[in-house]
Amino acid sequence: MEKKETVSLTLFDEPVERRHTHSAKWDGAYAQTGNPDILPLSLADMDFRSPSCVTEALTQRVKTGLFGYETEYPEVNRAVENWMRTRHQTEVTAGVTTPGVVSALLKTAACFAPEAKGIAVFTPIYGHFYETAPAAGLPLFECPLLYDRDRGTWKMDLNRLDDGFKQGFTLLMFCSPHNPVGRVWTREELTGLVALCRRYHARIISDEIHMDLIMPGNEHTCMLRLDPEAVVLTAPSKTFNIAGLRHSNVFASPATQRKIGEAWEEERFRGGNVLSYVAEYAAYTYGAPWLDALLAYLDRNRAYVEEEIRTRFPGIALTKLEGTYLMWLDFTSYGMPHEELKKRLTESGLVLGDGLDYGKGCEGFMRLNIGTQKANLSLFLERLEKALS
Ligand SMILES: Cc1ncc(COP(=O)(O)O)c(C=O)c1O
């Protein structure tokens, strides 16, 4: 098992064949388009192999041939807590897990539904947020983010949220960093948000699955540092590219965490599986050097795409990428109907994240996943030229 290692950035340039591996991104795009040469830069996983510390730990476990029912995992909980303390300056008690953040979003919303008349969300937002309200039997209150196209920035509209709270929509499903606009909310912005929530005793459920994927010059603040009543959802899945192992963590104050844990115990709802715990332990214990190298590589990809788009496609408005590996591209100046844009991209051999999956008013927007080899981004730019010509 590796302890302290230096990870070369060239590791991320190595080609990785993901086709024929049941990859939702690659094999899904082929199934959708019938093009074996399709380049999908859509779904939010990366085209890199997970760190070797994870693969080695899984290999050792697989070799035992033992996959029966398990006891608790105190050493994994300590590793999770240590990660949150050292990387995020946040004290948590680990132990409540779910098989992914989407299930945690839906189940926590349901847990707090009796206390709220409705659920508020800032839009555009990751599609599954829209499911939380119907799943909890509540109406949804949309708060569109304020967009400055020239600056490429998005801001929360707290006046609009205030209106929602006045109507009793006192559960906020929050995304931090925000998918798809790549915002890493500043401490000041979050402090303002928490102050407003306090005024209405509104509960914040903060999806922080992208918490480790922060571009230089930005700083992620875990919501629990500002609001002890918040519920925070995290996972090692985006960070270490292990989403298929299905594992995420839920953090809250001891009383809230107990309430959630007990509600799910009653339903026999429980997350994780033996391999996901092994991977999480290895990732959080030994994976930091790999992550630091990954972040440097992603930042280079970001700079490359930004520069190329600025010079070759001045009609595309770029949103500043502060966090996540997902760039939000605005093609509206081309004046093309959304379906036409999608068709041209597909016909040129590209699948991007469809803007309409993130909410109303996202016609002309596409989400680009830069968690891939630079060579793929170069191919993307080449094909984009064809699509827009
Ligand atoms: C904000 C956000 N939450 C949740 C998820 C998915 O979480 P999981 O695969 O753990 O259910 C994603 C995946 O893209 C995401 O971007």
Residue 178 DSSP symbol: B
Ligand 1 atom closest to the CA of 247, numbered from 1: 10
Are the beta carbons of 281 and 254 closer than 8 angstroms? no
Ligand 1 pocket test: pick from 41, 126, 185, 324 the residue with the most ligand atoms within 8 Å of its Cβ.
Answer: 126
Residue nearest (by alpha carbon) to ligand 1 atom 7: 101
What sign does the CA torsion over 176, 254, 245, 103 have? negative
CATH no. for 9-52+288-388: 3.90.1150.10
Q: Is the peptide bond before 236 cis (omega within 30 degrees of 0)?
A: no
At residue 322, φ and ψ (nearest 5 deg) are -100, -30
Ligand 1 pocket test: pick from 106, 179, 184, 209 the residue with the most ligand atoms within 8 Å of its Cβ.
Answer: 209
Are the beta carbons of 203 and 112 closer than 8 angstroms? yes
Q: How far, in Å, from the CA of 183 to the mean position of ligand 1?
A: 16
Q: How far, in Å, from the CA of 312 to the mean position of ligand 1?
A: 32
Tokens of 100: 């992914």
Q: Within 6 Å (CB) of ligand 1, which residues are found? A: 44, 100-102, 126, 175, 179, 207, 209, 235, 237, 243, 248
Q: Strands 317-318 and 326-330, how do they pair? A: antiparallel
Domain boundaries, the chain: 9-52+288-388, 67-285
Q: Model-level pTM? A: 0.97
Span between the terminal Cα atoms of the chain, in Å? 51
- Nearest CA to 106 out of 253, 248, 238 is that of 248
Residue 49 DSSP symbol: P
Q: How far, in Å, from the CA of 129 to the mean position of ligand 1?
A: 10
What distance lies between CA 48 and its chain's CA centroid?
A: 16
List, in sequence order, every residue forming a beta bridge with 214; answer none if it has no partner.
323
* Fold type of domain 67-285: Aspartate Aminotransferase; domain 2 (3.40.640)
Tokens of 266: 């009653």
Per-residue pLDDT in tens (0 to 9) along the chain, 389 residues: 445 568 999 999 999 999 999 999 999 999 999 999 999 999 999 999 999 999 999 999 999 999 999 998 999 999 999 999 999 999 999 999 999 999 999 999 999 998 899 999 999 999 999 999 999 999 999 999 999 999 999 999 999 999 999 999 999 999 999 999 999 999 999 999 999 999 999 999 999 999 999 999 999 999 999 999 999 999 999 999 999 999 999 999 999 999 999 988 888 888 889 999 999 999 999 999 999 999 999 999 999 999 999 999 999 999 999 999 999 999 999 999 999 999 999 999 999 999 999 999 999 999 999 999 999 999 999 999 999 99
Ligand 1 pocket test: pick from 23, 43, 101, 238 the residue with the most ligand atoms within 8 Å of its Cβ.
Answer: 101
Q: How far, in Å, from the CA of 348 to the mean position of ligand 1?
A: 28
